[in-house]
């Protein structure tokens, strides 16, 4: 059989055409347009001015910091919380299938719907969260109106919505661990913590790597939840790079907006890509 | 033995309590407030409605000449169109990418990997779509969704292809199949399980997509479900009963889908994540 003849490149043509026109070509041309001032019809080349502007204007440059905080914190919380939820949901409890579904379902709900609901739950005077706090005797908290708190309130909601996917990835990783390891460990007299430390954690590492990469990239790109809950506010307190891209586009600064887009590519390229390489290498060794 | 049983029972009870407090209450909150009158809902409490105002739902569905129903129609067209195109194009690509080796293939594979991570370059895409006269059209939106989901879908198909023995194809050639028949009559039917995963995951992703329609499909006549919900946030800021009625209307299709395809959805998400 002549493999080259059978597995013809013609089969790749439809995907390649659509992917090139609607993804690759814009991606490449964004590198150029980020160096211009343009309005879709004409452009003037301005060199690195857009990037200089981005990093000298505090309202814009903080968005990079917020993006990093958002991505790393949502990622860390999901990696840790989901691990313990998954340990619990693979133990010998009867309701585990039901509980897995309950934890997972928020992932399928529209992000805007989740944002609206949690914005209401976090309402400064009437929200349910504050009702609970005041019955516990604590003061009211303005979860989304306080500039130093708003970002963390959105992060909390993101983790609520996304922890389920991380959990089911861990669950499948834990279930694929050979039961005989645990049996051997029990015979050797290992207690629960030792089994967790010496068997579960090392062997669940591939699943953990998937969770890390998936949630980190998701965090770096996130836009819709922030947009629905705070719109980047109060002030610029929850602006991330992707919301700056939208705001500058809406304001008509297309070159600046495209520069923001390019900064997002760079962030992902210098953080997510080397991290994935590193994690895969560690997994192999 | 008895001790273990009691411990697992305590686990069950604690698990149910936590799940109820953390994950179920927000949904009850949506539901109960969607059935209150305007004043009741604006208090944002978890209490049951005094009277069940089912008419909130008819009001939402008929609001602004039935914009929600139009949005559902648009979202369904985009989702169905994109999913069908994705199945056809990505099954073909995944098949060849898994079977063939060589330099060209490594380039394709690297592009697919990068495509899983990199977000779209939005403004150049809009500009290019304007040039092609597909900006603000359902067709253009379908193409965008196909392009953005292509790396993930190819990866699923490519991964599944590796489980299909090549001997089946060899038998096909001996029976005189040509390349096209080989794919349509032998390979594609064998891909059925992963095609089911592809349909469900992409349908959920595309139906729930807010960001891309926000950029590529603005304007009232082409509104999608997520865009109408977002716009209602402004319009109904003082009538939470209607806002939450719309939230429920959007959430229920997903709940039904999840109840029917629970296992398939969860397995698909895990497979997609682990292979990516």
- Note whether B120 contacts A27, CB cutoff 8 Å: yes
Q: How far is residue B78's CA from residue B72's CA, in Å, rounded to a whole number? A: 10
Direct distance between the N- and C-terminal alpha carbons of chain B, in angstroms, rounded to an integer: 42
Query: Taking CA A158 as the corner, what is the angle to CA A156 and CA A161, rounded to the nearest 5 degrees?
Result: 110
Report chain B residues whose CB lies below 8 A from the CB of A11. 92-93, 95-96, 183
Which stretches of chain B score pLDDT less than 50? none
Which residues lie below 8 Å from residue B162, measured CB to CB, with a gap of 6+?
B98
- Note whether A14 contacts B89, CB cutoff 8 Å: yes
Kindly tell me if the per-residue pLDDT of A3 is higher than 70: no
- Note whether A206 contacts B274, CB cutoff 8 Å: yes
Confidence of residue A277 (pLDDT cuts 50, 70, 90): confident
- Note whether A128 contacts B30, CB cutoff 8 Å: no
Q: Please compute the mean of the pLDDT values over residues A226-245 and round it to a whole number.
A: 93
> Read out DSSP for B202-263?
HHHHHHH--HHHHHHS-SGGG--HHHHHHHHHHHTTT-HHHHHHHHHHHHHHHHHHHHHHHH
Report chain B residues whose CB lies below 8 A from the CB of A273. 117
- Note whether B23 contacts A105, CB cutoff 8 Å: yes
pLDDT at A4: 63
Report chain A residues whose CB lies below 8 A from the CB of B126. 40
Chain A interface disruption, residue of B71, B119, B254, most A CBs within 10 A: B119
Domain ranges of chain A: 41-284
At the top level of CATH, which class does the domain A41-284 belong to?
mainly alpha
pLDDT at B1: 57
Q: Which domains does chain B have, with CATH numbers?
A: 54-275 (1.10.3720.10)
In this complex, the residue of A19, A93, A214 whose CB is nearest that of residue B12 is: A93
Closest chain A residue by Cα to residue B121: A27
**Percentage, residues of chain A above pLDDT 90:** 62
Q: How far is residue B83's CA from residue B105's CA, in Å, rounded to a whole number? A: 25
- Note whether A228 contacts B30, CB cutoff 8 Å: no
pLDDT at A40: 87
- Note whether A214 contacts B115, CB cutoff 8 Å: no
pLDDT at B94: 93
- Note whether A27 contacts B121, CB cutoff 8 Å: yes
Q: How far is residue A261's CA from residue A258's CA, in Å, rounded to a whole number? A: 5
How many residue contacts between A and B have a Cβ separation below 8 Å?
258
In this complex, the residue of B119, B132, B269 whose CB is nearest that of residue A165 is: B269
- Note whether B173 contacts A1, CB cutoff 8 Å: yes
Tell me the shortest Cα–Cα distance from A223 to chain B, in angstroms. Answer: 7
> Read out DSSP for B27-81?
HHHHHHHHTS-HHHHHTT--SPPSS--THHHHHHHHHHHHHHHHHHHHHHHHHHH
CB B124 within 8 A of CB B118: no
- Top pLDDT among B266 and A151 is at A151
Q: What is the pLDDT of residues A4-22, one digit of tens each?
A: 667 888 899 999 999 999 9
- Note whether A108 contacts B170, CB cutoff 8 Å: no
In this complex, the residue of B15, B93, B254 whose CB is nearest that of residue A12 is: B93
Q: Please compute the mean of the pLDDT values over residues A235-260 and round it to a whole number.
A: 94
Kindly tell me if the per-residue pLDDT of A2 is higher than 70: no
Coil, helix or strand at residue A45: strand
- Note whether B15 contacts A92, CB cutoff 8 Å: no
Q: How far is residue A117's CA from residue B240's CA, in Å, rounded to a whole number? A: 10
User: ipTM of this model?
Assistant: 0.90
Q: What is the pLDDT of residues B112-143, one digit of tens each?
A: 988 988 999 999 999 999 999 999 999 999 99
In this complex, the residue of B22, B89, B128 whose CB is nearest that of residue A26 is: B128
Q: What is the pLDDT of residues A70-113, one digit of tens each?
A: 999 999 999 999 999 999 999 888 888 899 999 999 999 999 99
Chain B interface disruption, residue of A89, A96, A113, most B CBs within 10 A: A113
pLDDT at A177: 87
């Amino acid at each position: 059989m002549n493999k080259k003849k059978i597995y013809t490149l013609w089969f790749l043509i439809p995907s390649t055409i659509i992917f090139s026109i609607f993804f690759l070509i814009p991606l490449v041309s964004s590198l150029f347009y980020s160096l211009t001032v343009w309005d879709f019809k004409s452009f003037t080349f301005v060199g690195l001015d857009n990037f200089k502007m981005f990093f000298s204007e505090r309202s814009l440059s903080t968005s990079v910091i917020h993006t990093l905080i958002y991505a790393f914190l949502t990622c860390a919380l999901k990696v840790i919380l989901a691990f313990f939820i998954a340990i619990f949901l693979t133990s010998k409890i009867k309701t585990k299938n039901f509980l897995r579904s309950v934890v997972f379902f928020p992932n399928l709900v529209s992000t805007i719907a989740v944002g609206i609901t949690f914005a209401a739950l976090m309402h400064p005077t009437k929200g349910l969260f504050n009702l609970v706090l005041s019955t516990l005797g604590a003061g009211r908290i303005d979860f989304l109106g306080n500039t130093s708190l708003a970002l963390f309130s959105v992060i909390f909601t993101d983790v609520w919505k996304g922890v389920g996917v991380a959990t089911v990835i861990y669950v499948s990783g834990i279930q694929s661990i050979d039961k005989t390891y645990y049996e051997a460990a029990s015979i050797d007299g290992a207690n629960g913590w030792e089994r967790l430390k010496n068997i579960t954690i090392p062997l669940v590492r591939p699943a953990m790597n998937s969770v890390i990469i998936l949630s980190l990239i998701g965090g770096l790109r996130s836009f819709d939840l922030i947009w629905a809950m705070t719109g980047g506010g109060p002030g610029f307190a929850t602006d991330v790079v992707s919301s700056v891209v939208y705001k500058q586009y809406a304001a008509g600064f297309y070159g600046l907006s495209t520069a923001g887009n390019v900064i997002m590519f760079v962030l992902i390229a210098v953080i997510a890509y080397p991290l994935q390489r590193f994690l895969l290498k560690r997994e192999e060794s | 033995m008895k001790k273990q049983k009691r411990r697992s029972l305590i686990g069950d009870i604690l698990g149910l309590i936590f799940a109820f407090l953390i994950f179920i209450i927000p949904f009850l909150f949506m539901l109960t407030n969607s059935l209150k009158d305007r004043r009741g809902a604006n208090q944002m409490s978890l209490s049951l409605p005094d009277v069940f105002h089912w008419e909130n739902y008819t009001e939402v569905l008929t609001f602004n000449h039935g914009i929600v129903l139009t949005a559902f129609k648009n979202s369904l067209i985009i989702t169905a169109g994109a999913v069908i195109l994705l199945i056809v194009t990505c099954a073909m690509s995944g098949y060849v990418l898994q079977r063939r080796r060589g330099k060209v293939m490594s380039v394709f594979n690297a592009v697919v990997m990068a495509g899983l991570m990199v977000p779209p370059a939005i403004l150049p895409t809009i500009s290019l779509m304007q040039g092609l006269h597909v900006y603000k059209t359902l067709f253009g939106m379908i193409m965008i969704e196909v392009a953005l989901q292509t790396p993930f879908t190819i990866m699923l198909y490519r991964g599944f292809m590796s489980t299909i023995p090549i001997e089946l194809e060899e038998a096909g050639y001996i029976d005189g199949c040509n390349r096209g028949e080989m794919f349509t009559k032998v390979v594609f039917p064998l891909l059925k399980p992963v095609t089911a995963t592809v349909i469900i995951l992409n349908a959920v992703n595309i139906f729930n997509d807010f960001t891309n329609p926000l950029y590529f499909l603005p304007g009232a006549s082409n509104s999608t479900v997520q865009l109408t919900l977002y716009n209602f946030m402004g319009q109904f800021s003082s009538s939470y009963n209607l806002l939450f009625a719309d939230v429920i209307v959007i959430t229920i299709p997903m709940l039904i889908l999840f109840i029917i395809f629970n296992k398939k959805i969860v397995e698909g998400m895990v497979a997609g994540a682990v292979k990516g």
